[in-house]
Structure 1
Amino acid sequence: MDVIKKNQEFQQIFEKGHSIQGKFLVVYFLRNQYQINRYGICVGKKLGTAVRRNYIKRLLRESLRTLTFPNHQMNLDILLVAKKQILSASLNSIIEEIQHILLKVVFLKLKNKGELEDSQ
């Protein structure tokens, strides 16, 4: 699992990417030029102290690590943005939500095959 770290790449995904809202997360995605999927995690300061934000990041990284990801090479940059409701969520519910949202992304990719390529 490759990680998105550069601020410029985060901004590009926010500005040009598509988004899907969930109960605990907003997931932004944008096609990249690499042959792999890359992930970024964003937890705002409104969610609490640094200890709490780091805990949320660890939960999200662990959920991505244990995720049974669809067997599609999508070449996407995927950005997970935590919402305030994530503070009361369990690891299993976060995993289920990410899985559900990523299946929506796969469905959108198959449904609108050319649209994701045109967004760059």
Structure 2
Amino acid sequence: MRKSYRVKKEQDFQRVFETHNSVANHKFIIYQMEKPGQHHFRVGISVGKKIGNAVHRNWVKRRIRQTLLEVKPELRPDVDFLVIARPSADGLSMAETKKNLVHALKLAKLIEKD
């Protein structure tokens, strides 16, 4: 995902957290903040140390990024959001990761329901 699609700065992460607008399922938490007039969404990914060592954390992040690339056309453009992986997200297959992340994104109304 290109840099323009990422929330990278600590202050941007904190701004999204402080909106207290979040939804969750058993595997992921989604925080979101409306940004009217923005040309495309921005996403931040956080995988904590409870997931495991760096190899496991990077493995989970790669699967989250791939899922977001696959659903990119369906995502709302006027929002910044954070995806936080819960410890139970470790060890999921790609299909399970996509299913759970899409479910969380639908709960957050970032993707239109089918």
TM-score with structure 2 setting the length = 0.81
1:16 aligns with 2:16: no
Partner of 2:67: 63
How much does 1:96 deviate? 1.5
Deviations along 1:24-48, whole A, 9 cap, x unmatched?
Answer: 1001111125221111100112211
Gaps of 5+ in 1: 108-120
The alignment status of 1:99 with 2:102, answered yes or no, reads: yes
Task: Specify which of 51, 74, 99 is matched with residue 55 of structure 2.
Answer: 51
Q: Quick one: distance in 2 between partners of 1:38 and 1:82?
A: 17
Deviation at 1:20, TM superposition (A): 0.7
Residue identity opposite 2:61 in structure 1: K
- After TM superposition, give the deviation of residue 99 of structure 1 in Å: 1.7
Matched-pair identity in %: 30
What is the TM-score when the length of structure 1 is the normalising length?
Answer: 0.77
Aligned AA (1:18): N
Q: Distance in 2 between matches of 1:49 and 1:87?
A: 11
- Structure 2 residue runs of 5 or longer lacking an equivalent are none
Amino acid at match of 2:35: N
Pick the structure with greater CA Rg.
Answer: 1
Q: Distance in 2 between matches of 1:73 and 1:27?
A: 14
- SS at structure 1 position matched to 2:14: helix
Q: Secondary structure at the match of 1:95?
A: helix
RMSD of equivalent CA atoms: 2.1
How far does residue 14 in structure 1 lie from its aligned partner after superposition? Answer: 1.1
Letter in 2 for 1:75: D
Return the letter of the residue paired with 1:90.
S
